[in-house]
Amino acid sequence: MPDSLSTTSVPLPLLDRIRAIVGPKGVIEDASEMRRYTVEWRDIYVGRVPLVVRPASTEEVSAVMRLCYEAGVPVVPQGGNTGLVGGGVPHEGGNEILLSLDRMNRILAVDPVGYTMTVEAGCILKTIQQTAADHDRLFPLSLAAEGSCSIGGNLSTNAGGVQVLHYGNARNLVLGIEVVLPDGRIWNGLRALKKDNTGYDLKDLFVGAEGTLGIITRAVLKLWPKPKDVATSWLAVRDPAAAVEILSGAHAASEDNVTSCELMSRQGVEFVLAHLPGTSDPLAARHDWYLLLEWSSSRPRREGSASMAERMEAYLADCLERGLVLDAALAQNEAQAQAMWKLRESHSEGQKLEGPSIKHDISIPVARLAEFVGKGIAAMKQVVPDCRPVPFGHVGDGNLHFNCQSAPGQDKAAFFAQAEAISHAIYDLVTSFGGSISAEHGIGRLKIDELPLYRSEVELDTMRAIKRALDPKNLMNPGKVVRI
């Protein structure tokens, strides 16, 4: 069995046979051309492979996998290479093949009546969103990397984003998948069924497995009615507890049409305002906490019935009266709504431009979110007293990006030397809240050694048993999620 971290090279005859399967367009071997596949986009990992293979069909993926399986060569599947935990990046040893799905990027079918779309795994998320919109439908997965991430990667990581609250995460947006197994066999689970109780839920096992059990090659996605009446507001709120309360009441006030509810702190917003050109504060005064609230209805505005904006306004007036909301700006047009979203979606960029930061993608039960924010900030400051906490995220999911920005001008190396202590302080607290150390980004390579600290031996052991059962040679994206 090959050790994924060894420097054993891939046998040359295997490379020849792979070239023969996929043809000249299907391989990249030039070192500089390979970099966009082998280097993690934030330069955290720099992998090395002899060859990037880009199959054009499921059959080609299958043939390549079969060869690698027989030769005992590990394969790293990759979508848009936008992941945040190194799940799609090869190791440094040069003994793995990188298999990119980027040539399998076709929309295969759209069924607006049945509310489904069938796509190849390499389809860019944005293309899927736009195709749905062209058919008066919505594919609700929405996240910062949507212009370059692929649906195969989204499914393999069970991606989250800003509309999980209403539509669920990627797992909930897919009806069926096709998977090439580690030995090259093809599982056709490409079913467009809302209900199917014929045995174990294989689909949900491959979704979120980060390519360690097989390669998702095609998918039948669910579509929703396209929103016709959207209200967006930017709120200054009393505190995180108020944010939870505002959301709790918003469900009924909007008739279950809350599609986003994003919490931000002044600190995070300030980084955006300072570094991103063209951004401005929608409110006159400074406030400590903000909420971006969006309600969407699939029913067009009509005479004699209150629009979403009118209903939201009425609800916010009530929240102002109760002291939950301190000030509010309701977007008057699409441009204003987009400007509010820009403040939210530039949070990562704002932090990056401000300087070094240590990131956490955690979740806790929604009801305890406010309590966690207070204790989490205190825990962070106990380790690094002058750090600048930047908590933000998805209130309805109990999912916070609980980041820690270095003090202005602090030495980068000295700051990162504290990374482990900060992360463990946060993760220990998360665990005491019954939470998760990876709400939406996954485990990949980044958290593979953290997972055993925060999940039970029984849980890890069950995962390992599944991994061994489906990938007995440990050739499928080894060294990610779980070690066997």
CB of 273 to its own copies, least distance (A): 28
Please report which helix (H) or strand (E) contains residue 75, including its range.
strand 75-78
Residue 303 lies near its own copies (rule: CB under 8 A): no
Question: Which range binds its own copies by CB under 8 A, 20-28, 89-97, 266-274, 292-300?
Answer: 292-300
- Using CA atoms, how far apart are residues 231 and 417, in angstroms rounded to an integer? 44
Residue 285 lies near its own copies (rule: CB under 8 A): no
Question: Which range binds its own copies by CB under 8 A, 4-12, 45-53, 304-312, 320-328?
Answer: 304-312
CB of 35 to its own copies, least distance (A): 27
Candidates 445, 397, 458, 453; CA nearest to 426 is 453
Helix residue ranges, H only, 388-476: 412-416, 419-432, 451-454, 457-470
Of the residues 32, 197, 280, 333, which one makes contact with its own copies according to CB under 8 A: 197
Residue 336 lies near its own copies (rule: CB under 8 A): no
Residue 349 lies near its own copies (rule: CB under 8 A): no
CB of 236 to its own copies, least distance (A): 23
The answer to whether 114 touches 136, Cβ cutoff 8 Å, is no
Question: Which range binds its own copies by CB under 8 A, 12-20, 25-33, 157-165, 332-340?
Answer: 157-165
Q: Return the percent helix, strand and coil in the chain, to nearest 5.
A: 35, 20, 40
Residue 466 lies near its own copies (rule: CB under 8 A): yes
Residue 14 lies near its own copies (rule: CB under 8 A): no
Of the residues 443, 446, 475, 476, which one makes contact with its own copies according to CB under 8 A: 443
Residue 484 lies near its own copies (rule: CB under 8 A): no
Of residues 203 through 262, those in contact with its own copies by CB under 8 A are 204-205, 207-209, 213, 225, 228, 244, 248, 251-257
Residue 299: other Cβ atoms inside 10 A: 14
Residue 451 lies near its own copies (rule: CB under 8 A): yes
- Using CA atoms, how far apart are residues 377 and 403, in angstroms rounded to an integer? 10
Return the beta strands (E) in 299-371 as ranges.
325-330, 357-358, 361-363
CB of 348 to its own copies, least distance (A): 18
> Could you say which DSSP state residue 405 is in?
E
Residue 200 lies near its own copies (rule: CB under 8 A): yes
378-417 mask for its own copies (x: CB under 8 A)? ----------------x-xxxx------------------
Of the residues 181, 242, 337, 358, which one makes contact with its own copies according to CB under 8 A: 181
Residue 376 lies near its own copies (rule: CB under 8 A): no
Residue 294 lies near its own copies (rule: CB under 8 A): no
CB of 49 to its own copies, least distance (A): 25
CB nearer to its own copies: pick between 130 and 305: 305
Q: Which residues contact 281 (CB under 8 A, 6 or more apart)?
A: 269, 273
CB of 150 to its own copies, least distance (A): 17
- Using CA atoms, how far apart are residues 210 and 170, in angstroms rounded to an integer? 13
Residue 460: other Cβ atoms inside 10 A: 14
Read out DSSP for 149-193? Answer: -BHHHHHHTT---TTHHHH--GGGGEEEEEEE-TTS-EEEE----
Question: Can you state the angle between helices 266-275 and 334-345, rounded to 10 degrees?
Answer: 110
Question: Can you state the angle between helices 240-253 and 369-383, rounded to 10 degrees?
Answer: 150
Partners of 107 in the beta sheet? 119
Question: Which range binds its own copies by CB under 8 A, 30-38, 126-134, 138-146, 201-209?
Answer: 201-209
Taking CA atoms, 214 is separated from 58, 69, 422, 467, in Å, by 12, 12, 34, 10
CB nearer to its own copies: pick between 282 and 398: 398
Of residues 108 through 147, those in contact with its own copies by CB under 8 A are 111, 113-116
CB nearer to its own copies: pick between 185 and 286: 185
CB of 262 to its own copies, least distance (A): 14
Residue 202 lies near its own copies (rule: CB under 8 A): yes
Residue 239 CB-density burial (10 A; 0-12 exposed, 13-18 middle, 19+ buried)? middle
Of the residues 217, 233, 346, 363, which one makes contact with its own copies according to CB under 8 A: 363
Residue 299 lies near its own copies (rule: CB under 8 A): yes
Residue 306 lies near its own copies (rule: CB under 8 A): yes
The answer to whether 393 touches 262, Cβ cutoff 8 Å, is yes
The answer to whether 48 touches 89, Cβ cutoff 8 Å, is no
CB nearer to its own copies: pick between 54 and 394: 394
CB nearer to its own copies: pick between 104 and 370: 370
CB nearer to its own copies: pick between 98 and 481: 481
